[in-house]
Structure 1
Amino acid sequence: MKTIFKLLIALNILLLFALPAAVSAEENSNSPLHWGFKKGRNGRQADAGRMFEVILEDHGAVYKGDKKSKDIYLTFDNGYENGYTEKILDTLREEKVPAAFFVTGHYLESAPELVSRMANEGHIIGNHSWHHPDMTKISDEKIMKELEMVRAETERITGKKDMAYLRPPRGIFSERTMAIAREAGYTHVFWSLAFVDWNTDQQRGAQYSYDKIMSQIHPGAVLLLHTVSKDNADALGKVIRDLKEQGYTFKSLDDLMLSKNGIKHPMMY
């Protein structure tokens, strides 16, 4: 009897110490993480580090492709329209290059004709949230509402019901927000190549954008560009043509996911 009593006391003590740890783990799951990485150089891939690599793997997220394949995945963030998206779309059409555009609610409301054109020309439209919040600071329900509002309005404009990819606003996320988004059917798409291109009053010319892209390019790169940048719009054609000459192939995020899942697929472009 004494032995059983001692075992019960020991078990209670273990539970007492285990409870704070469990609470701590739950709290830590929403600790804000800010996306970042060591930039690619001389054809070497960007490196986000072990911690981010593990988190992304656990949640089925991506930020780059195969280091052995000279594939590029071109993505744009569209928070608002600044008059350059039409030129970017013209260039993509001329060069037969697919892209993904991550849109906000403001963009959907202010530039529906451009969103329609993106879809009609075969580009992927991704979710960048409705109000562009730090999603680690809002409830599960509000996260779902942010995502659903974008999906529903995109469907209304384009007729396309499904939306598969999410880019968290400002690159801020947590394991909680990733889990919620994944439950809603989204894959987080981060990036392995970017630079400060969104300041519209600090544009430096097409050569600046070109140099920033070419200096970081690497096999499997997921490029993040902002369509508000005149520099990007002016440089994009030369970037695409020169990278094609270097043996790079532009593919879609769907290709990237197929490749990640080990499914053999034909080259689209």
Structure 2
Amino acid sequence: MMLMVSGSQAILAEDGGVYHFGFKKSKNGEPASIDQEGFKELLDKHGALFLGDQRQKNLYLTFDNGYENGYTAQILDVLKEKKVPAVFFVTGHYVKDQPDLLKRMVNEGHIIGNHSWSHPDMSKISPEQIADELTQVKEAVGMVTGQTTMNFLRPPRGIFNDQMLRVSRELGYTSVFWSVAYKDWDTKQQKGAKYAFDHVMAQLHPGAIILLHSVSKDNADAMAQIIDEARRQGYTFQSLDGLELGITGLP
């Protein structure tokens, strides 16, 4: 049986504790919530993140990079101009296909995170396979960029279970989910920069971890305006390296 939660993207499968991350979106600056999802204790148990300190108007910008669609360089240009740090979660395909962009990310002060080698459902593979998926990305990124550590993981498609979180934590990873997102990954359903801007700004809240996909032209075109308006509202963009809080966003 599947249980859909109103106002959320979550799916809870009653087949051994497999979850698809979802959350109640922020409105009017109030924090996003996972209280209704049924997996808060599991994320807390394994030190996973979905937002930061709710008392601070900090934002954490993250991108999922499964493949390149021609817009990451434009996004990097804006981040460099605006002096904003980001985390780019990459797959094995991206590492092999885009070494120059990976080098640029690291050279310009961004973090490269792990999005797995082959983008599998990591709740359905063995601990040994999980380790292999993550180790391949870490080693390949290191060979290309010289980045010697890799501390952050975003599970493909946001699918997770206790084993996946436990094994990745034992390997030194913090799983990073999100508290701001919208349907931006469909390259056939791009609706313009204003659409991206409106959907991101409507969800902003203190401590937000923002998930965007670099394949989206809308995101690339809206990036400068999103950053400028967020700063005008008193937000600052911080590196995920500085976020060492649990999923509740409390000290």
Q: Do both share a fold (TM > 0.5)?
A: yes
Aligned partner (choices 31, 38, 43) of residue 45 of structure 1: 31
CA distance in 1, matches of 2:48, 2:28: 25
Aligned partner (choices 132, 136, 143) of residue 119 of structure 2: 132
CA distance in 1, matches of 2:104, 2:16: 37
Percent of aligned pairs sharing the same letter: 56
CA distance in 2, matches of 1:162, 1:177: 20
| Deviation, structure 1 residue 201 | 1.1
- Give the 5 Å matches for 1:143-162: 143-162=130-149
Give the 4+ runs in structure 1 shifted more than 4 A. none
CA distance in 1, matches of 2:148, 2:86: 19
> Which is higher, the Rg of structure 1 or of structure 2?
1
Q: Give the partner amino acid of 1:45.
A: P
Aligned partner (choices 88, 100, 121) of residue 101 of structure 1: 88
Q: Give the partner amino acid of 1:173.
A: F
Q: Report the counterpart of residue 10 of structure 2 in structure 1.
A: none
| Deviation, structure 1 residue 161 | 1.6
Q: Give the partner amino acid of 1:87.
A: Q
| Deviation, structure 1 residue 129 | 0.1
CA contact (8 A) 1:126 1:167 kept: yes
Cα deviations by residue, 1:206-254 (Å, 9 ceiling, x for unpaired)? 0000000011111100000000000000000000001101100000111
* 2:188 counterpart SS class: helix
Query: Normalised by the size of structure 1, how large is the TM-score?
Result: 0.84
The answer as to 2:179 corresponding to 1:196 is no
- C-alpha RMSD of the superposition: 1.5
| Deviation, structure 1 residue 66 | 1.1
The answer as to 2:21 corresponding to 1:35 is yes
CA distance in 1, matches of 2:16, 2:140: 28
CA distance in 1, matches of 2:166, 2:16: 10
CA contact (8 A) 1:30 1:136 kept: no
* 2:234 counterpart SS class: coil
CA contact (8 A) 1:30 1:177 kept: no
| Deviation, structure 1 residue 126 | 0.3
Q: Give the partner amino acid of 1:181.
A: S
CA contact (8 A) 1:78 1:103 kept: yes
CA contact (8 A) 1:31 1:136 kept: no
Structure 2: tracts of 5 or more residues without a match:
1-13, 247-251
- Give the 5 Å matches for 1:220-235: 220-235=207-222
* 2:39 counterpart SS class: helix
CA distance in 2, matches of 1:31, 1:119: 36
CA distance in 1, matches of 2:76, 2:200: 18
Structure with the larger helix share: 1
Number of residue pairs aligned between Structure 1 and Structure 2: 233
CA distance in 1, matches of 2:200, 2:19: 25
Q: Report the counterpart of residue 4 of structure 2 in structure 1.
A: none
